[in-house]
Chains A and B, each alone.
Chain A
Amino acid sequence: MNRFVCIALLSAALVTPAMAQRGAPPAPMGVAGHAPPVAIAADKEIPFDQALDAARTAMDTCLKLPRKSTAVVMVVDLNGNVRVQLTPDGTGLPFYDYARRKAYTVLKKGMSSGDFAKLPDVAATPRGQAFQGDPQLINFPGASPIMKNGVMIGALSVSGPTGGGEDEKCTAAGMAKFHL
């Protein structure tokens, strides 16, 4: 009898996950792709009002540059999930992807995408090859870590048509809005 219960339990344990998976929604899709999300500690969450303020400021700064830049702006949390994304009128299609990859670079490397570009091995990577073997990493400046007490809690990423140097100005303006 006991053995029967054991077998029944074991087979249920084996079969149930397989069945459950069929109806389950796809795994969360953050900036980092299909990585399983981790629970973000309360002290590492980005307050929404600050995220929106920072993104708004970064976008407006870009739009008011001498060479107006219609840049895609996003604030992502440690899971790479977008907290705020703003897309000004008339932006170009590549910038959605560049903004996402810059944010990914910040989260993965723990430094700004501009600093990542300056790493010796990255700077020496021949054109056309993936950086450090990861095709999601990108060496365009414009994304920075959002820091709280010296610890990264997310990323602010900007990508517009006037280039990484200009993007960085907008990122800095947005970053100044965080008071964590």
Chain B
Amino acid sequence: MKRLAAALLFSAPFSIFVTPAIAQAPMPPAPPAIAADKQIPMDQALAAAQAALDTCLKLPRPSAATVEIVDLNGLPKVLLSADGARTNSFDYMKMKAHTVLKKGMGSAAYGKTAKLTPGQPLEGDPLLTQYGGGLPIMRNGVMVGAISVSGPTGQIDDDACAAAGAAKFHF
């Protein structure tokens, strides 16, 4: 939980806090170092992201999706955005990755348990989402990151693409 908060602070779009220039701004705690056995190798991350993107593009209704692989700190290892991807895909993709890391399960699985109140954020966290498309990356039964997909054709397609990408990991 603490780690997530740190990651969110660090990756915030206005992360001017990192700048030494703004010395008076409070420095957020640095995200914790990720243990060697919980790091995601670059080549596998790229292969997975590419597989997810290609799966989406080859669907019966081709989906120009945005795909992200994040580490346990929520920082992007690989981000790929297909030609013609919509700008709102970025937000949903980020939210799905956040949901996976925070809840330790796929965003669709979380969506089944989530208590939705129209107009209210889930559990008071506006970055949680009930939409499928985010899946945990598991290594020896332990989560080491998340793969998140968001495209214009909806969460069922997104989930299928994410699963195709996740299948590329071999730890």
Residues of A bordering B, CB below 8 Å: 19, 22-23, 25-30, 33-34, 37, 45, 47-48, 52, 74, 79, 81-89, 93-94, 96-97, 128-130, 135-136
Q: Decide if A135 touches B41 in the complex (CB within 8 Å).
A: no
Q: Decide if A25 touches B92 in the complex (CB within 8 Å).
A: yes
Q: Decide if B21 touches A129 in the complex (CB within 8 Å).
A: yes
Q: Decide if B88 touches A89 in the complex (CB within 8 Å).
A: no
Residues of B bordering A, CB below 8 Å: 10-11, 13-16, 18-23, 30-31, 39, 41-42, 46, 75-84, 87-88, 90-92, 94-95, 118-119, 126
Known: A96-B11, A135-B21. A28 touches B30 (CB 8 A): no
Residues of B near A94 (CB, < 8 A) are 18
Find the A residue at minimum CB distance from B70.
Answer: A87
A129 and B11 alpha carbons, distance in the complex (Å)? 22
Q: Decide if B94 touches A29 in the complex (CB within 8 Å).
A: yes
Q: How far is the CB of B34 from chain A (nearest CB, A)?
A: 10
Known: A93-B10, A93-B31, A135-B22. A85 touches B91 (CB 8 A): no
Residues of A near B75 (CB, < 8 A) are 87, 93, 96
Most chain A CB atoms below 10 A, which of B22, B80, B119:
B80
Q: Decide if B91 touches A26 in the complex (CB within 8 Å).
A: yes
Residues of B near A84 (CB, < 8 A) are 79-81
Residues of A near B119 (CB, < 8 A) are 19, 22-23
Q: Decide if A136 touches B16 in the complex (CB within 8 Å).
A: yes
A86 and B118 alpha carbons, distance in the complex (Å)? 37
Residues of B near A82 (CB, < 8 A) are 76, 79, 81, 90
